[in-house]
Amino acid sequence: MMTLIMLAGAAAGFGLLMLWLLLDTSQATGPAALSRLDLDRRRFRRDTVLTVDRRHPGENLRMRRLGARVREQMEAWGISLPVSVRADLSMVGRSLEAHLAVSIVAAVVGFFIPLALLALVDAAFGSSFGMMPLWVALAGALISGLLPTSQIRATAETRRRDFRHVVSSFLDLVAMNLSGGRGVPEALQSAAGISDSWAMLRIREALQTARLQGVTPWAALGELGNELRIDELRDLAAALGLVAEDGAKVRDSLYARSESMRQRELADSEGRAQAQSQSMLVAQLLLCVGFLIFLTYPAVSRILVGM
């Protein structure tokens, strides 16, 4: 019953607040009017940027607007997401605004689900939990709010591993084009046009952006490596910079980097396979222990009853 009263009070308070905001027709002072005009101008600029964004066409515009408001408030408070989270979002192709909106919605849902469940328990059994539902709701909101970030991190690690595999092949192609006498820009363009995978599309996009902005292609690859947290792209950018600036012969170095990347990917694959084998072994041991308990329980129960 206490939980139902709290939910009803929260809903009534929210309704009164929205009614007061809708019916408020007081005249604003000069500074307040200027602040409101500046806020409208920033909102118009923000909506324009969100509308013309072509990198995230499948995202809901309303959710992105909600996330943009949350981002502006966080920046006003001096709060920013870690660089690792931003890199994971770039890796999975989700905007920061959409991620913030999804996290907020998940936190709200996680806050109300425990309250609703405990309210049903109160109504069904007639028991009261006092202030416990509030703490349960806060825990549910925290866990639900962090769940999208953990999912993004797991997906980003998988895609980052696939990206590194593509980069190893890209290194071989660049080295082959350099051996054929092509320059660095031509070698990069030719190597990036071999495949239509997601990683190659990002590399081609970075090279096209570099050509439009007037920067060097290896600098664009380095920026892409910083954005996605791909060390191999940063190393490639540094090596190609040496080729263009100092005339260094780094074809053998590129081949060696590609071979070392493949060896490391093979070692990582073997490590993941061994970890999965260990997890299967633990599951089999648990099944064996359960079966032994099932077999010995009648005898043990008889001994205990006889004592």
Q: Tell me what pLDDT residue 56 has.
A: 60
Tens of pLDDT, residue by residue over 21-56, are 555 555 555 555 555 555 555 554 555 555 545 556
Distance in angstroms (rounded) separating the CA atoms of residues 298 and 82: 56
Distance in angstroms (rounded) separating the CA atoms of residues 61 and 152: 20
Distance in angstroms (rounded) separating the CA atoms of residues 33 and 38: 9
Q: Is 150 exposed, middle or buried (0-12, 13-18, 19+ CB in 10 A)?
A: exposed
Distance in angstroms (rounded) separating the CA atoms of residues 240 and 211: 16
Distance in angstroms (rounded) separating the CA atoms of residues 52 and 50: 6
Alpha carbon of 179 to those of 204, 249, 253: distances in Å? Answer: 21, 10, 12
Q: Tell me what pLDDT residue 268 has.
A: 77
Distance in angstroms (rounded) separating the CA atoms of residues 233 and 87: 14
For the record, the structure tokens of 228 come out as: 């996605």
Q: Tell me what pLDDT residue 22 has.
A: 55
Instruction: Give the gyration radius of the chain's Cα atoms.
Output: 29
Q: Tell me what pLDDT residue 275 has.
A: 74
Q: Tell me what pLDDT residue 52 has.
A: 47
Average pLDDT, the chain: 75
Q: Tell me what pLDDT residue 45 has.
A: 55
DSSP 77: T
Instruction: Give the residue extent of every domain in the chain.
Output: 160-260
Pick out the chain residues at pLDDT < 70.
1-11, 15, 17-58, 125-133, 243-252, 306-307
For the record, the structure tokens of 56 come out as: 């995230």
